[in-house]
A and B are shown apart, each in its own frame.
Chain A
Amino acid sequence: MIIKKSLEKWVLLSPALVVLGLVTLVPFVQTLWLSFTDTRITAITKPISWIGLENYIYALTDPDFIEALGRTMYFTLTSVGAEGILGVGVALLLNQKFPGRNILRVLIILPWAVPTIVNAVMWRLIYHPEYGALNSMLWQMGIITEYQSWLGDPDRALNMIIFADVWKNFPLVAYIALAALQTVPADLLQASRIEGAGPWRRFRTITLPWIFGPLLVVLILRTIEAFRVFDIVYVMTRGGPSDSTKTASFFVYQEYFSYLRSGSGASYAVLLAAISAVLITIYYIGARRQVQG
């Protein structure tokens, strides 16, 4: 009976194991193998030689890659940070009682529902240097005296992309925070209020610690997602101007499909995977704490 059950378990799991094995595990091992070779994408087949750690040594001393990594970290921390603050703020608002609250709760799902690419396209149009709504609006309000090239300026292109990313993703954080807020015991807040704690103090000492677990988990999840950012950059700037928005995934994409260096590209990809693995482990620890309570 026990043997039968154990066998059955693997039978039930086997389709999933086959799919994931073929589509993720095998390619990953192949990428790992490639990263130790000097393979290039060419029409003619040429012998591939094993070059050990050479790609890695090059990658880790490549200032362009280090810069791309730094940019990705900046993108990740800034956008996830802003999504966290905005998300919690919105959740606090939506947790209050006021007329129109229910409509607002439904409406804020819209940015989340807009496809990533449409979001990127929409903001690209809004930021357009000549015909964009942002320029026109700020100019008519007298905030700027001449039209700006929002995505054409290396100093701010990345921040403009971050803004677009935050707009799309804050609802997710807001919903998770709201779900957690609804479980904060009212009598605890009441007791604290009677003891004379102000709203900020109540938030800091009761509400925030109470929602911290779920909030942390969703923020780590967003961190993992933001770290591999590609689509929004592809549509909005293609990594430019002067590489100022070239994130790590975009960097590897170019190494593969523009410069056709698959061996070297693979080593960059493995390094990204290693960083992601660290983040995933942190997520695992955080999520397990949540389950155990």
Chain B
Amino acid sequence: MKNTTLQTFGLIALSVLLAAFTLAPLVWLVIMSVSSASELTAKPLIWWPSEIDLSRYGDLLNIQSGSGERFLMALRNSLMTALTATLLALIVAVPAAFAFSRRGASLLLLFGFLATIMMPPITYVLPLYDIFGSVGLLNSSTALAIVYCAMLLPFATWLMKSNFDAIPAELDQASMVEGASTFYTLRRVVLPLALPAIAATFMLSFLAAWDEFFYALIFTSDLTAKTLPVAIADFTAGRVTDYGVIAAVGVLASLPPAIVAMCFQRFIVSGLAAGSVKG
């Protein structure tokens, strides 16, 4: 059905409204990050900076400056924690997903996996705090990576399972009949076919770990392990007088997930849809 001109006009008006609603806060965040401190404290605000001031980014990316050290260490911790956790989660999730898809493991158990991450983290946090404290792992990326691995694992298992389901079972059965071990079959037959799924699972898991705040807030206490979300919360809680710095940190922390999300949108949306629609 063709839309009339009037309808098309209405649709475009609505979409401009939607684009403004979606983009305005983000654009403003970027503008704040490059405006001078005096423009950010003017009343009413100066919406467009007289000149673009990139010095905050320079400071944040310079390890010698105070805020740069805090930011770069947190960036390093976030990357390390999220990467380790995602890799661990995938290594553990793939065999489990294979058991659910091919070895008849009960779906109720899979749902039990999912239920563990749907519980409020506040129900786990105190005993975990004690355990990590008693083995000297508080304030370490290791402890966070372990917790994140458990946090990512159920969803990763679930996503991988539904992707294994889509691969014809005859392929791995043939390999087994020829005498190959399950491990060999999984590695050489199933995994190569599931590579796109692994990539999608990897990205979604990484983004979830990158975003996590609650555990990181409680388990980390200084530069050795604090992740970006915690560092950002610190930046706002501290007596920072220049709001542009906070904005610049926000922009930098949003860049990686925003780029990943835009480039791999199809992947991500199908992963999200699978995760929330099919159960």
A contact residues vs B (CB 8 Å cutoff) = 5-6, 8-13, 15-16, 19-20, 22-28, 30-31, 34, 90, 93, 96-101, 104-118, 121-126, 128, 130-131, 133, 136, 139-140, 147, 167, 172, 175-176, 179-180, 214, 217-218, 221, 224, 227-228, 230-231, 234-235, 249, 252-253, 256-257, 262, 265-266, 269-270, 272-273, 276-277, 279-280, 283-284, 286-288, 290-291
Contact = CB atoms under 8 A, between A and B. Distances in A.
Contacts of B243: 125, 128, 131
A279 B84 CA distance: 31
A227 B120 contact: yes
A97 B3 contact: yes
A115 B22 contact: no
B26 A110 contact: yes
Contacts of B124: 23-24, 27-28, 31
Nearest to B257: A113
A122 B29 contact: yes
A133 B15 contact: no
B99 A9 contact: yes
Given A16-B92, A27-B124, A109 B277 contact: no
B134 interface: no
Contact of A126 (B28, B95, B126, B273): B28
A9 B235 CA distance: 48
Given A117-B211, A231-B214, 15 more contacts: A5-B103, A8-B182, A13-B99, A16-B157, A27-B125, A27-B131, A101-B15, A108-B18, A109-B268, A111-B22, A115-B253, A117-B213, A117-B229, A126-B28, A172-B276
Nearest to B121: A228
Given A27-B127, A27-B128, A126 B25 contact: yes
A172 B272 contact: yes
A164 to B, nearest CB: 9
Chief secondary structure at chain A's binding surface: helix
A98 B12 contact: yes
Interface residues of B, number: 92
Interface stretch (B54-62, B65-73, B147-155, B192-200): B147-155
A269 B117 CA distance: 15
Contact of A26 (B45, B127, B268): B127
Contact of B236 (A10, A97, A124): A124
Contact of A19 (B92, B273, B276): B92
A286 B96 CA distance: 24
A16 B110 CA distance: 11
5 contacts: A12-B103, A28-B119, A93-B15, A114-B258, A230-B121
A114 B122 contact: no
A104 B262 contact: no
Contacts of B232: 115, 117-118, 121
A131 B120 contact: no
A19 B258 contact: no
Given A23-B146, A104-B19, A116-B213, A224 B118 contact: yes
Contacts of A269: 120, 122-123, 126
A133 B45 contact: yes
Interface string B92-133: 110110110001110001010101111111111111101100
A206 B151 CA distance: 38
Nearest 8 interchain pairs by C-beta: A287-B279, A23-B150, A113-B261, A30-B127, A228-B120, A27-B127, A12-B99, A16-B96
B96 A24 contact: no
Nearest to B31: A133
A224 to B, nearest CB: 5
Nearest to B276: A218
Nearest to A108: B22
